Amino acid sequence: MIKVNYRQVQSTCFFSINNSFLSKSDKKLLTNGNLCDKIQAIKMIKASGKGGIMKKQNYSVMITSILVKAVFVLIIVCCIFAPLIVRVYDNRIFALFGMSVYLPTIITLYLAAAAALVIVTALDRLLSNIRHDKVFTPANVKILRLISYCCFAVSVIFIYFSFIRPFAWLVVIAAAFFGLILRVIKNVFEQAIILKEENDFTI
């Protein structure tokens, strides 16, 4: 036997009737229909609202995925033109300080670019999983772990260069900070997966 909370149904009906997005037929059904009709109408309204939210989320994920792919292409382009850009930068440094930083700079940038490409590829995979409603899964935990490791790798890569150019310490600190944040998010995902599995077993 199904238990129905009549006050909750009445409250939901009152809220739904005053919703400007409902059609006249829906409002009439909620006002004059019997209890079963009202419950069915409420379910349909909730389903349509959830569908609208999911549509907006998918649109947001799609835009983010496009931006991630654009960043991937931008990194490739920067790698192609890096020797020329670094050469111009090195000439200015040599003119000011009488020392060349071309080799350590180009090595640092290419190593960091390799880690960045891994990060962007992993992000694209993560967004693909989210787009297919695969959010709290072990695969996403592995992706977040990989991205955090790459952030820490970038931080380590720039440590050596920071002794040559002190401004690189900003990159060291920022990369390590993002890596730490991603570790926290990864731990949250792991706990969410455990709770989800427990709820599935309970049901």
pLDDT tens by residue, 44-83: 555 555 455 555 667 888 899 999 999 999 999 999 999 9
Among positive and negative, which fits the CA dihedral 94, 98, 102, 108? negative
CA angle 172, 139, 110 (to 5 degrees): 35
| pLDDT reported for residue 34 | 53
Which range has the top average pLDDT, 90-99, 108-117, 164-173? 108-117
DSSP letters for 64-109: HHHHHHHHHHHHHHHHHHHHHHHHHHHHHHHHHHS---HHHHHHHH
Mean pLDDT of the chain: 79
Q: How far apart are the first and last CA of the chain?
A: 18
Instruction: Answer yes or no: are the C-beta atoms of 26 and 46 closer than 8 Å.
Output: no
pLDDT tens by residue, 125-153: 999 998 888 888 999 999 999 999 999 99
Closest CA to 106 of 114, 98, 117: 114
Q: How many CB atoms lie within 10 A of CB 14?
A: 11
| pLDDT reported for residue 10 | 46
Q: How many CB atoms lie within 10 A of CB 127?
A: 20
Overall pTM surpassing 0.85 (yes/no): no
Q: Per-residue pLDDT averaged across 24-30, rounded?
A: 50
